[in-house]
A and B are shown apart, each in its own frame.
Chain A
Amino acid sequence: MSNPQQLRFSKEHEWLSAADENGVATVGITEFAANSLGDVVYAQLPAVGDKITAGESCGELESTKSVSDLFAPVTGEVTEANQDVVDDPALVNSEPFAGGWLFKVKITDEPADLLTADEYTAFTAG
Chain B
Amino acid sequence: MTDAPRRTALDALHRALGATMTDFAGWDMPLRYSSERDEHIAVRTRAGLFDLSHMGEITVTGPQAAALLDFALVGNIGGVAVGRARYTMICNAEGGILDDLIVYRLADEEYMVVANASNAQVVLDALTERAAGFDAQVRDDRDAYALLAVQGPESPGILKSLTDADLDGLKYYAGLPGTVAGVPALIARTGYTGEDGFELFVAPADAEKLWHALTEAGADAGLVPCGLSCRDTLRLEAGMPLYGHELTTATTPFDAGLGRVVKFEKEGDFVGREALLAAQERAESTPPRKLVGLIAEGRRVPRAGFAVVADGAVVGEVTSGAPSPTLGKPIAIAYVDAAHAAPGTKGVSVDIRGSHEPYEVVALPFYKRQR
Contacts and interface: CB of A to CB of B under 8 A. Distances in A.
B217 interface: no
A64 B300 contact: no
Nearest to A93: B35
Interface in B337-357: 353
B37 A39 contact: yes
Given A38-B32, A38-B36, A93-B35, A64 B322 contact: yes
A44 B298 CA distance: 12
Contacts of A90: 37
Nearest to A43: B299
B35 A41 contact: no
Nearest to B32: A38
Contact of B229 (A36, A42, A65): A65
Interface in B288-304: 299-301, 303
Contacts of A39: 35-37, 323
The CB with the most chain B CB atoms within 10 A, among A41, A66, A67, A90, is that of A41
Interface of B is mostly: mixed
Interface residues of B, number: 16
Interface in A34-79: 35-36, 38-39, 41-42, 44, 62, 64-67
Interface string B4-42: 000000000000000010000000000110011100000
A41 B299 CA distance: 8
A38 B36 CA distance: 7
Given A62-B299, A64-B229, 4 more contacts: A38-B32, A38-B36, A42-B301, A93-B35
Closest CB pairs A-B (n = 7):
A41-B323, A42-B299, A39-B37, A62-B301, A64-B36, A39-B35, A38-B36
Interface of B: 20, 31-32, 35-37, 229, 233, 299-301, 303, 322-323, 330, 353
